[in-house]
Structure 1
């Protein structure tokens, strides 16, 4: 084993991070023996190996990145996302990758790992920080990162930003207000909101923006006009069907994202309703779906690529031990008017 492949034995340890020497003392063996266990060498007695492995697990030992990995890259950032790789996630990832290329930083993309040692394994593999895209972070998730000493940045968090979690989002309330105000300016008063999960902070903000605009215009929000669901095309199909079945259906629908909006348009089309002549529809995000829809979708542009870039740069600063000015950063949204909305 060369010095480049062997974990540091004498160098300074990060605060709170267990060293090989400490584990060796507890196990009553040499540092070299512990190093062999860490590196998977076979020339260690099974009973000794088992005792050392158990101590490594108990003390949350994290092997430092190999020196040749650190020399090759200024940093390697892990990006995790759950669910499917939809246009929303793809555009956010594109922003992360573009910013990484500018800074000569490596990026690896993965799904969340259920292995209890996942955070320590990331550090051992040379990751300097983690960017989680639209993740619901639990106490267990945060504790694993804290024990491993791995900084976290959440991109577009699904629940309200925790004071200890760095996150990047957009002005969802302002976007919801602008979308609804646009429909009101066209003369619509029967405007419904078809959104995502009720627990999602971004959706809550969009609903509040919608309600604020309706209240400012003294436009009523009848029962059944606000429907939570999922950020999916299928939710748009089913939600629009429920809205159009109401005794007094809406003349306009503000959808929580572009996928939902396209589902609304498809359901309306299936019932012989034209968009926007019979039903105006506004989306949220401004993904490629909005620009290629038929008709092209009026939507609230969420600067996904820019958000990805800010998340990457924030992660690098945290990895370098710098302090950031704010735990939560919001980028401005913008209403983009196309052909899916018209006067009532």
Structure 2
């Protein structure tokens, strides 16, 4: 006999919340506390919740999920979340890569002409002209982890980056590290700024010195992690730990350490950010800040569809909770 499909009431009972709260989480509403949202998401996964079939009016059109750089492990997690949500709603998701300079007014019109109902842009830097082109074309936009903060109000989805940066740095401080470096992404990226502020807040609260030479801003790419790691490790007084703004750059730092004959974590502790699948496969497995990337992809797609349906969005920015995951790439500071 087939298992009975979980309902909203099932999920609400498992999470100890109301059915209305579960509905808010599924629809990407912002008026849910991070801890409550985490409980609901856990219950949804545990019960393998599948929403009822979409109404006929919802099951048409496509949503463009657009990246501005080559896909990586971070992208894969976002894609899986968005595609799953699209499947639940009967909406196709088209994946594309489009550099910033290619986003012209013609680009916006082409998206509409090819049947796109909405656009979800990931880690993108959007200009005022590009936003105006989308608005003129009548194409709703949701941005995941925007690289800039345009003056125009843009609907966006992210995570609690400040809390994540704070937790990562506090973890290293608890292990006795005081010479802690921060390797972030582009300096203007909103997510990078929040993680940096979290790092600074933890350091200052502990009375640890934030050295200017211990802070670098690069791209969220492996090669940048290697280059930054080389810079850190050739300093007269190199750091004993590095907090990297993404898993990919954390792996680059680990490679830079290996190339210099240093061991992770015995000689250098490394913390990443994202908790992509490869974080668990690394040697040693990576201590990292988990952001719910799949949920972020799903929430962004649902919000984009709500905008396309003409619904009012009560909050233009939503943040999902982060969580520190301690694995084998961090250890107490060695005596030096």
> Does TM, scored on the shorter chain, surpass 0.5?
yes
Distance (whole Å) between structure 2 residues aligned to residue 89 and residue 253 of structure 1: 23
Partner residue in 1 for 2:60: 74
Please, which runs of 5 or more residues in structure 2 have no aligned partner? Answer: 1-55
Tell me if the contact between 1:151 and 1:315 (Cα under 8 Å) persists in the aligned partners.
Answer: yes
Tell me if the contact between 1:75 and 1:316 (Cα under 8 Å) persists in the aligned partners.
Answer: no
Distance (whole Å) between structure 1 residues aligned to residue 146 and residue 120 of structure 2: 11
* 1:176–1:72 CA distance, 2 compared to 1 (3 A): closer
Tell me if the contact between 2:66 and 2:122 (Cα under 8 Å) persists in the aligned partners.
Answer: yes
Deviations 1:254-288 (A, max 9, x none): 01111111111111111111110111000011112
Please report the RMSD computed on the Cα atoms of aligned residues, expressed in angstroms.
1.6
Partner residue in 2 for 1:110: 96
SS of alignment partner, residue 128 of structure 1: strand
Distance (whole Å) between structure 1 residues aligned to residue 104 and residue 212 of structure 2: 45
Tell me the TM-score normalised to structure 2 length: 0.79
Distance (whole Å) between structure 2 residues aligned to residue 290 and residue 162 of structure 1: 35
Q: Alpha-carbon deviation of 1:247?
A: 1.4
SS of alignment partner, residue 121 of structure 2: strand
Please, which runs of 5 or more residues in structure 1 have no aligned partner? Answer: 1-69
Number of equivalenced pairs? 275
Distance (whole Å) between structure 1 residues aligned to residue 67 and residue 264 of structure 2: 34
Partner residue in 2 for 1:58: none
Greater relative contact order (Cα < 8 A, sep 6+): 2
SS of alignment partner, residue 115 of structure 2: coil
Tell me the TM-score normalised to structure 1 length: 0.77
Distance (whole Å) between structure 1 residues aligned to residue 106 and residue 321 of structure 2: 37
Partner residue in 2 for 1:317: 306
Partner residue in 2 for 1:261: 250
What does residue range 1-344 of structure 1 map to in structure 2 within 5 Å? 73-112=59-98, 113-114=102-103, 116-160=105-149, 162=151, 164-344=153-333
Partner residue in 2 for 1:4: none
Distance (whole Å) between structure 2 residues aligned to residue 208 and residue 278 of structure 1: 26
Q: Alpha-carbon deviation of 1:161?
A: 6.0
**Greater CA drift, 330-339 or 106-115:** 106-115
Tell me if the contact between 2:128 and 2:152 (Cα under 8 Å) persists in the aligned partners.
Answer: no
Tell me if the contact between 2:183 and 2:228 (Cα under 8 Å) persists in the aligned partners.
Answer: yes
Tell me if the contact between 2:112 and 2:139 (Cα under 8 Å) persists in the aligned partners.
Answer: yes
Tell me if the contact between 1:161 and 1:328 (Cα under 8 Å) persists in the aligned partners.
Answer: no
SS of alignment partner, residue 224 of structure 1: helix
